[in-house]
């Protein structure tokens, strides 16, 4: 029997379980269609594996089958999580969870399905009345004293996708040991008959506006420059939710902060899981901000803000010295926010040596420079905001959190949420713009001033796609080669340190080895040079890619040196790519 025949037999057997099991008629009809179709591509894609409940939850294409997002895969995930919560919190008189969802197709159906399953297991459910941002769900876990929470979202993935993210009682996403232990409980669900779909309405409480008001009220207390906002209350700000959950709450929060001139993009205020005006609803993609930038040009606005579908990531555009809009990258946004927060905390006498910021290891080192030069501790954590949340939890009651961020457009300027938050980030970026204006600067001027004060930095992400099993094998070989034979120089600068987060060892140019203190291992290598450049290398966890994060540093004695520093950095990045054989 060849491999293709074996695979077809396997998927046919799995499909027949769905055809003959306790599944709804519409699902069975679709399974029958796939089985009867002479082209077995759909059948194989739908059943060749089970959609994995990974450390970040579920994410996949919507449809019928074990490898798709549907009420049955969502159901198994929820039943497994419910079982785990009952084990972990057996002494609680009433276990409580929050259930939220974004704008995606089927998100409401999936959230109601999950609410029914939790309640059928005796768990009290606070279900949002309609779509809400991911950070608001995180806030609500803490506000209502819940043990867990989930949100149905695939973040900024294409419209065909949906996802399921699980959170713990601190409001952060699951980390060890809970992430792995929940996965084990989910994997124990072997039959649809083990999933309790019949909900208990008495245990489901609909929530909405009252939580919005509390959340917005908490965010308004973050302001550090209320007088600057008052003097610039009519500053024009264009905001787009890109069809997502920020549509009402972000303009409302900006107004509660004191900004009176919020300009919307009507076509993108349409809540839709089809994302009709964009190819990808991802604020990291310049095209996603096109309509907002055009609106800003037409209205002579000063700042453009965009949030992704579940309102946890932020894209921003500011005017350069020629009056043209340029997009800030994730590192620049995180750096500007860190600079502003640290500076204002210091000016207001709020820094006493017990303050900290958090960044991920692949995010710009300038954040560490800004923090440490101002007497603020900077923690480096793995990629993924759950690690920032974990650091916040570890230091709760001991140190004061100022802010945290990552290069992938996620930032958190408050401690009452434990995930990246586009709602508070948009309002703080607007405050930075108002404060800069009050001080005779634009946001662009401020960016250049930070470079002049703390040193120039340019970051470039490079992804090398290697598809299929052969591609996966090639990525493993590449990582092994970087481990056993790291480059001696990058762009002409000697390598002085290599950190391997799989072995948790750092080796300097003299061969001296020191231990890295991290909560777990990770398949990441970092290379540091004498010029303070940094290369981070890791395989993607979700796509057939190996990712390179290149940061080159430069000297900028004054704002006037920016163009020269920029050009030199571009040349250095090209040289770094050659050193890495990219």
Helix, strand, or coil here: 18? Answer: helix
For position 1, what pLDDT does the model report?
Answer: 46
Nearest-5° Cα angle at 335, 333 to 338? 110
Fill in the DSSP letter of residue 173.
Answer: B
Phi, psi of 578 (to 5 degrees): -65, -40
Report pLDDT digits (tens) over 85-132. 999 999 999 999 999 999 999 999 999 999 999 999 999 999 999 999
Torsion angle, alpha carbons of 506, 508, 512, 515, to 10:
-20
pLDDT single digits (tens) 374-386: 999 999 999 999 9
Report strand pairing: 410-412 vs 400-406: antiparallel
Distance between CA atoms of 206 and 125, rounded to whole angstroms? 8
Sheet holding 237-240, edge to edge: 262-264, 237-240, 303-307, 314-319, 325-328
pTM of the model: 0.95
How far apart CA 543 and CA 79 sit, in angstroms, is 27
**pLDDT at 507 > cutoff 80:** yes
What per-residue confidence (pLDDT) applies to 472?
Answer: 84
Tell how far CA 572 is from the center of its chain. 29
Q: If you search the block for the tokens 């074990």, which residue do you land on? A: 66
| Domains of the chain with bracketed CATH | 1-47 (no CATH), 49-207 (3.40.120.10), 218-454 (3.40.120.10), 456-579 (3.30.310)
Is the separation of the CB atoms in 362 and 341 below 8 Å? no
**Residue 191, helix vs strand vs coil:** coil
Q: What is the dihedral of CA 404, 421, 54, 176, to 10 degrees?
A: 40
N residues, the chain: 582
Q: Is the predicted pLDDT of residue 162 greater than 70, yes or no?
A: yes
Round to whole Å and give the CA distance between 295 and 286.
15
**pLDDT attached to residue 278:** 97
Burial 146-168 (b: 16+ CB within 10 A, else e): bbbbbbbbbbbbebebbbbbbbb
Express each pLDDT in 390-411 by its tens digit.
999 999 999 999 999 999 999 9
Distance CA 246, CA 311 (A): 5
Q: Which residues pair with 459 in a beta bridge?
A: 551
Burial class (CB in 10 A: 0-12, 13-18, 19+), 470: exposed
CA gap 148, 184 in Å, rounded? 17
Total Cβ atoms within 10 A of residue 415: 18
Q: What is the mean pLDDT of the chain?
A: 96
- CA 296 to chain centroid: 26
The alpha helices in 505-547, defined as continuous H runs, are none
Alpha-carbon span 154 to 460, nearest angstrom = 25
The residue behind tokens 């009809």 is 29
Question: What average pLDDT does range 463-468 have in this prediction?
Answer: 88
Rounded to an integer, the average pLDDT of 251-272 is 98
* 351 contacts 327 by C-beta, under 8 angstroms: no
At residue 542, the pLDDT reads 65
Q: Is 503 helix (H, G, I), strand (E, B) or coil?
A: coil
Annotated catalytic residues are 155
The secondary structure of residue 24, as a DSSP letter, is -
């Amino acid at each position: 029997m060849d491999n293709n025949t074996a695979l077809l037999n396997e998927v046919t057997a799995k499909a027949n379980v769905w055809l003959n099991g306790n599944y709804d008629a519409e699902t069975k009809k679709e399974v029958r269609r796939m089985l009867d179709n002479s082209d077995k591509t759909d059948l194989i894609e739908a059943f060749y594996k089970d959609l994995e409940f990974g450390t970040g939850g579920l994410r996949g294409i919507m449809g019928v089958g074990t490898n798709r997002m549907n009420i049955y895969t969502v159901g198994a995930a929820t039943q497994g999580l419910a079982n785990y919560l009952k084990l972990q919190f057996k002494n609680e008189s009433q276990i409580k969870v929050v259930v939220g969802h974004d704008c995606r197709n089927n998100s409401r159906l999936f959230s109601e399905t999950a609410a029914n399953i939790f309640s059928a297991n005796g768990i009290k459910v606070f279900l949002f009345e309609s779509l809400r941002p991911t950070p608001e769900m995180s806030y609500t876990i803490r506000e209502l004293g819940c043990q867990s929470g989930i949100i149905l979202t695939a973040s900024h993935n294409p419209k065909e996708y949906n996802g399921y993210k699980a959170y713990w009682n601190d409001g952060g996403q699951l980390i060890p040991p809970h992430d792995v232990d929940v996965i084990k409980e989910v994997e124990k669900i072997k039959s649809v008959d083990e999933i309790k779909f019949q909900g208990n309405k008495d245990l489901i409480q609909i929530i909405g506006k009252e939580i919005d008001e509390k959340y917005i009220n908490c965010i308004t207390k973050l302001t550090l420059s209320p007088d600057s906002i008052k003097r610039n209350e009519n500053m024009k700000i264009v905001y787009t939710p890109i069809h997502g959950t920020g549509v009402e709450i972000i303009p409302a929060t900006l107004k509660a902060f004191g900004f009176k001139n919020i300009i919307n993009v009507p076509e993108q205020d349409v809540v839709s899981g089809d994302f009709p005006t964009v190819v990808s609803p991802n604020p990291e993609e310049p095209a996603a901000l096109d309509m907002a930038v055009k609106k800003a040009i037409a209205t002579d606005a000063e700042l453009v803000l965009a949030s992704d579908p579940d309102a946890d990531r932020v894209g921003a555009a500011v005017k350069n010295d020629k009056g043209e809009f340029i997009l800030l990258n994730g590192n620049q946004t995180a750096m500007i926010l860190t600079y502003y927060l640290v500076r204002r905390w210091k000016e207001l006498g709020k820094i006493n040596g017990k303050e900290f910021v958090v960044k991920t290891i692949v995010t710009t080192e300038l954040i560490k420079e800004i923090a440490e030069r101002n007497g603020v501790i900077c923690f480096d954590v793995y990629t993924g905001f759950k690690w920032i949340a974990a650091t916040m939890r570890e230091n709760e009651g001991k140190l004061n959190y100022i802010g945290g961020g990552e290069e992938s457009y996620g930032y958190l300027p408050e401690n009452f949420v434990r995930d990246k938050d586009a709602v508070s980030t948009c309002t703080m970026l607007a405050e930075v713009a108002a404060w800069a204006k009050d001080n005779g600067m634009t946001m662009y001027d401020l960016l250049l001033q930070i470079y002049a004060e703390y040193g120039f930095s340019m970051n470039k992400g490079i992804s090398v796609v290697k598809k299929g099993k052969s591609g996966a094998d090639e990525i493993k070989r590449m990582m092994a080669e970087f481990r056993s034979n790291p480059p001696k120089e990058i762009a002409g600068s000697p390598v002085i340190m290599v950190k391997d987060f799989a072995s948790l060892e750092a080796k300097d140019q003299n061969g001296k080895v020191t231990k890295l203190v991290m909560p777990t291992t990770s398949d990441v290598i970092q290379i540091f040079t004498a010029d303070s450049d940094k290369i981070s290398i890791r395989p993607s966890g979700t796509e057939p890619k190996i990712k390179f994060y290149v940061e080159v540093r430069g000297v900028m004695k004054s704002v006037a040196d920016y163009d020269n520093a920029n050009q030199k950095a571009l040349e250095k990045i090209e040289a770094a790519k050659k050193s890495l054989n990219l």
